[in-house]
Structure 1
Amino acid sequence: MDIIFLGTSSGTPTKTRNLSGVALRKAGSKPWFLIDCGEGTQHRLLHTNLSLNSLQAVCITHVHGDHCYGLPGLLASATMSGRSAALTIIGPAAIREFIEATQKATQLRLSYPVNFVDVAGMSGVFDGDGFDIDAVALSHRVPSFAYVFVETGLSRKLDVTRLKADAIESGPVWGQLQRGEDVILPDGRVICSRDYLLEVRKPRKVIISGDNDTPALLAESAKSAHVLVHEATYTEAVAEKVGAGPRHSSAKAVAQFAAEAAIANLILTHFSPRYKDSGGSGLTIGDIELEARTCYAGNLLLANDLDMFHLDRAGTLIRR
């Protein structure tokens, strides 16, 4: 699957970083999901091959503007592009009020129905196209959530090596076995499908977190996660100077949690604009990376706008 970053700054944009937005899709698949939609998200989408007509759901982590101010414009653009299929929006109840107020104030009429799901009232997982989506409550100044994506639709593969070893030639018989049907071969042998189907591989799980000052709230979900995407707004020293008011995580706090939870792949994002990309004097993104690496020995990646990370079936994550 692919994770595409449409914005990696917190609070306000910078010259190189837009506000929060992450796209998730199965590799090679048109359907995709959007997690958060900061101002300017749709402009970042113009640099990708993601279509608003293929968007399955928008998941908003919380109501702060850097995570949702881009949503009305994106919905309007979907109408301009001719969308007719219903769109699901999962988020805090206030997101629905925000969209409806914007529609009324600007006379925005959408060409497609919108299905709102109150994330606080979700009962069980939401069945997306190719994913089950669950939510975990976090700790922030307003109710904030992480979204947990677990891939679905996995099927058992044929044990081709065994089929060839038993002289079962490819053809219709293989299709019957794949469908779970037992087969009688022309030579009289009775072939049981269960003997030629491999075990289903473990479904991949990706957690994309909203703003959160307590990473440990994700401990249960993280037990089987392949990737955690989490904010690292500050380094520890800056977090201490800023104080507890903003209620964000430092790179150290997230990295320590990821190490303790044995998460194989950690992507940090949502960096304070005070951290420059590189060069010059003052704080840089490199300071965030250095702090995280002192606590976490796994596959650590810091997101830039328009970065795409590919998670293969074996759980290996690479930047493309």
Structure 2
Amino acid sequence: MQLTFLGTSAGKPTRERNVSALALEFEQDNKWYLFDCGEATQHQILRSRLSIGKLDTIFITHMHGDHYYGLPGLLSSKKLDTAFRPLTLYGPTGIKKFLECVIDVSFENLGYTLKIIEYKAEETFGFDKFSLKVLSLEHSIESFAFYIKENDITNRLNEAKLRSFGLEPSPLYGELQRGNCITFQGKKLEPGEFMLPPERGRRLIIAGDNSKPEILGRYLKEIDLLVHECTYTQQDYDHLQAKVLHTTAKDLGKAVQKRHVKNVIASHINPRYNNHSIKGTDVLYHEIKAYYKGRVFIANDLDVYRLSKDGMVEKL
């Protein structure tokens, strides 16, 4: 499973960061999924190894412009690229009205089928390789997180055991995987005798803007990865004249430590933390680590991370 960060800035683009967008890919798949689509996301896709033609589904976390203003351009370019693969878009209430106002979303105009689904909190949707549940967050408007659970693999054959019986890979393997009995050298072989234990699917949460990571509560337990905003250090947030509903590095660190989250990737970085200022992103990293013992990464644009089957995250 790979995650490509196409935009990691909070609120507005900077010289170093574009606004929110994240791509998710699964192994042995011919499509990918986009979470949020801030302005100029299509430009970021051009700078990555991703193809608009293989984009299958878009998920929008909330109706703040830095998370969805890139949709009209992306959807239009898909037509110009003659990438006519159907596309489904999941978003909160209002996303359909926005797109219908900005562009003609009919098949006659786009040249491909665009299905728009406005979700509600606690809804669950099923996909080829995973299920996704919509979770409410706390922000200045309705904002949501997506709890993604990869399907467990339940049809893994114990090939070593089959070979010990003299049965080499053949179409009979497929019959066992489908739950059918087979006969080999006059012996009846039951599928249950040759199956490995189920392999647990990976679990992760991709969150939109949120002032209280603790609101995710029990969903943080036993996940392999949390992708969450980390807009300010606590000190900088405390000195803001007008408070905004965003997460501090301190609050993020405390919440994930309490729930023993394995890996955290922080994004949605305030523009004040940059390579040309006194305060770089290291201050965010160290503040999270002051409260959290797990693995932390501060995402940059075009970073690619791999979440392995054993739940380890590495930056590629």
Taking structure 1 as the reference length, the TM-score comes to 0.93
| Paired residues for 1:85-104 under 5 Å | 85-103=85-103
Q: Is the 8 A contact 2:7 2:18 kept in 1?
A: yes
Per the alignment, residue 172 of structure 2 pairs with 173
Q: Is the 8 A contact 2:121 2:135 kept in 1?
A: no
Per the alignment, residue 44 of structure 1 pairs with 44
Give the residue type in structure 2 aligned to 1:156.
Answer: N
Task: Give the Cα separation in 1 of the matches to 2:80 and 2:265.
Answer: 34
Give the residue type in structure 2 aligned to 1:193.
Answer: P
Task: Give the Cα separation in 1 of the matches to 2:60 and 2:170.
Answer: 47
Give the residue type in structure 2 aligned to 1:47.
Answer: R
Task: Give the Cα separation in 2 of the matches to 1:47 and 1:185.
Answer: 53
Match among 243, 246, 269 for residue 244 of structure 2 = 246
Q: Is the 8 A contact 1:56 1:129 kept in 2?
A: no
Q: Is the 8 A contact 1:56 1:128 kept in 2?
A: no
| Paired residues for 1:146-185 under 5 Å | 146-152=145-151, 154-185=153-184
Q: Is the 8 A contact 2:151 2:200 kept in 1?
A: no
Task: Give the Cα separation in 1 of the matches to 2:296 and 2:154.
Answer: 31
Say yes or no: does 1:115 pair with 2:111: no
Say yes or no: does 1:289 pair with 2:278: no
Per the alignment, residue 262 of structure 1 pairs with 260
Say yes or no: does 1:229 pair with 2:215: no
Task: Give the Cα separation in 2 of the matches to 1:64 and 1:170.
Answer: 53
More off after superposition, 242-251 vs 73-82? 242-251
Task: Give the Cα separation in 2 of the matches to 1:310 and 1:266.
Answer: 12
Give the residue type in structure 2 aligned to 1:144.
Answer: S
State the SS of the aligned residue for 1:44.
Answer: helix
Per the alignment, residue 301 of structure 1 pairs with 297
Per the alignment, residue 62 of structure 2 pairs with 62
More off after superposition, 77-86 vs 1-10? 77-86
Per the alignment, residue 137 of structure 2 pairs with 138
| Paired residues for 1:28-43 under 5 Å | 28-43=28-43
Per the alignment, residue 16 of structure 2 pairs with 16
State the SS of the aligned residue for 1:301.
Answer: strand
Shift of 1:77: 0.6
State the SS of the aligned residue for 2:37.
Answer: coil
Q: Is the 8 A contact 1:92 1:118 kept in 2?
A: yes
Identity of matched residues, %: 35
Q: 1:16 to 1:221 in 2, by over 3 A?
A: same
Say yes or no: does 1:202 pair with 2:176: no
Q: Is the 8 A contact 2:96 2:116 kept in 1?
A: yes
Per the alignment, residue 275 of structure 1 pairs with 273
Task: Give the Cα separation in 2 of the matches to 1:48 and 1:259.
Answer: 33
Shift of 1:287: 0.4
Task: Give the Cα separation in 1 of the matches to 2:81 and 2:139.
Answer: 36
Q: 1:286 to 1:90 in 2, by over 3 A?
A: same
Per the alignment, residue 310 of structure 1 pairs with 306
Q: Is the 8 A contact 1:126 1:134 kept in 2?
A: yes
Count of residue pairs the alignment pairs up = 314
Task: Give the Cα separation in 2 of the matches to 1:64 and 1:289.
Answer: 26
State the SS of the aligned residue for 2:175.
Answer: helix
Gaps of 5+ in 2: none
Gaps of 5+ in 1: none
Shift of 1:243: 5.8
Q: Is the 8 A contact 1:93 1:119 kept in 2?
A: yes
Task: Give the Cα separation in 2 of the matches to 1:168 and 1:87.
Answer: 43
Q: 1:283 to 1:134 in 2, by over 3 A?
A: same
State the SS of the aligned residue for 2:252.
Answer: helix
Give the residue type in structure 1 aligned to 2:306.
Answer: H
Task: Give the Cα separation in 2 of the matches to 1:170 and 1:16.
Answer: 51
State the SS of the aligned residue for 1:206.
Answer: strand
State the SS of the aligned residue for 1:184.
Answer: strand
Taking structure 2 as the reference length, the TM-score comes to 0.94
Shift of 1:111: 1.6
Q: 1:100 to 1:214 in 2, by over 3 A?
A: same
Give the residue type in structure 2 aligned to 1:286.
Answer: D
Q: Is the 8 A contact 2:237 2:243 kept in 1?
A: no
Shift of 1:15: 0.7
Task: Give the Cα separation in 2 of the matches to 1:28 and 1:17.
Answer: 30
